[in-house]
Amino acid sequence: MTDNKKVALVTGSSRGIGFVTSITLARNDFLTYASMRNLDKEKEIRLVVDKENIPLKTLQLDVTDSTSVNNAIKSIMDETGRIDVLVNNAGYGLVGAFEELSIEEIKQQFETNFFGVIRVTQAVLPIMREQKSGIIVNISSGAGRFGYPNGSAYVSTKFALEGLSESMAYEIEPLGVRVVLVEPGFVRTNFSNVVAKRSQSPSSQYSKMTEKMAESFDQMKLNSSPPELVANVVLEAVTSKNPDLRYLAGKDVEQWMEQKKYMSDKEFFNMIKQSLG
């Protein structure tokens, strides 16, 4: 399957952005390893592979488990001897007012969304350094550039990812390795949101805000971008000779960032409050 193809690894590929990105890379002649925590969820992506005969393999990889990560990377290296592209996509959203989040819930959010990226990247980076080439794509979010109510845990992981990526860029560019942040807005996927336990209670002090937030998000999703848009941005970045550090993905996030550029913090804060009801 290699045939001198570039080798790509995508985490969180059982659905959503990871699913579509894996297929998009494979359709564009990358030997793609679509990894997922549970291989019982590989059926849908295997149907596409079998129908189109594209160079894609599924692989078990749990970003929260170092043994799983190391085994997956070893498997790829045994088969191909190289990794040219890493797309860190695995993640989920923890929803709830900050006061109602348990420390355990916040830790688990960071374990997947942030430390998972660190775990996989630290396993792949030495390979790319030895190759003197490679590109690491971290799927961030508009939430990595500004906050919103009920998103403190998720937003915090994306802010952390932005800082990590920007700092890494200075260190690894001289080695021939690039890092890219892709920042989607709302995307039409079955992205996993987990509501904090205390926020599910009818007696929550923040229940009215949570209800309004859910209504606002449902409305925004009506005009959200398809996951193919994000996948194509990833493809653009990994095929560019000189990729940018950041790529916005979606008309909504482009509009928000344009407004943020010309507004004071107070003006932007009030605008977000108003748009979210």
One-letter amino acid identity for 156? S
CA dist 150 and 277 (Å) reads 13
Question: Strand locations in the chain, DSSP E?
Answer: 7-10, 31-36, 56-60, 85-88, 93-95, 134-139, 177-184, 193-195, 246-249
Q: What's the number of CA atoms in the CB half-sphere (13 Å) around residue 216?
A: 15
Grade residue 221 by pLDDT with cuts at 50, 70 and 90: confident
Q: What is the mean pLDDT of residues 238-252?
A: 96
Predicted local distance difference test score (pLDDT) of residue 216 = 82
Tell me the DSSP string of 56-77. Answer: EEEEE--TT-HHHHHHHHHHHH
CA dist 191 and 95 (Å) reads 12
Predicted local distance difference test score (pLDDT) of residue 209 = 86
> Minimal CA–CA distance to 145: which of 132, 156, 134, 129?
156
Residues near 158 by Cβ (< 8 Å), separated by ≥ 6? 113, 140, 141, 143, 144
CA dist 222 and 188 (Å) reads 8
Give the tens place of pLDDT for each residue, 50-105: 999 999 999 999 999 999 999 999 999 999 999 999 999 999 999 999 999 999 99
Residue given tokens 């290699």 in the structure block = 2
Longest dimension (CA), the chain: 60
The percentage of the chain sitting over the pLDDT mark of 90, rounded to a whole number, equals 83
CA dist 127 and 116 (Å) reads 18
- Return mean pLDDT, the chain: 94
Predicted local distance difference test score (pLDDT) of residue 154 = 97
Grade residue 14 by pLDDT with cuts at 50, 70 and 90: very high
How far is the CA of 120 from the CAs of 70, 111, 117, 138, 265, in angstroms? 8, 12, 5, 11, 35
CA dist 32 and 58 (Å) reads 8
Predicted local distance difference test score (pLDDT) of residue 277 = 66
Grade residue 193 by pLDDT with cuts at 50, 70 and 90: confident
Contact status, residue 82 vs residue 5, Cβ threshold 8 Å = no
Q: What is the mean pLDDT of residues 160-188?
A: 97
Contact status, residue 168 vs residue 125, Cβ threshold 8 Å = no
> Minimal CA–CA distance to 56: which of 68, 42, 67?
42
Q: Which residues are catalytic?
A: 140, 154, 158
Predicted local distance difference test score (pLDDT) of residue 58 = 98
Q: What is the mean pLDDT of residues 123-129?
A: 98
Is pLDDT at 224 greater than 90 in this prediction? no
3-state secondary structure of 162: helix
- DSSP class of residue 224? P
Q: What is the mean pLDDT of residues 148-177?
A: 97
Residue given tokens 């790529």 in the structure block = 247
Grade residue 181 by pLDDT with cuts at 50, 70 and 90: very high
Please give the distance of CA 135 from its chain centroid, rounded to a whole number: 15
Give the tens place of pLDDT for each residue, 262-276: 999 999 999 988 887
Predicted local distance difference test score (pLDDT) of residue 275 = 80
Predicted local distance difference test score (pLDDT) of residue 203 = 87
Is pLDDT at 205 greater than 80 in this prediction? yes
Q: Which domains does the chain have, with CATH numbers?
A: 7-251 (3.40.50.720)
Grade residue 207 by pLDDT with cuts at 50, 70 and 90: confident
Residues near 263 by Cβ (< 8 Å), separated by ≥ 6? 271
Predicted local distance difference test score (pLDDT) of residue 222 = 80
Grade residue 2 by pLDDT with cuts at 50, 70 and 90: low
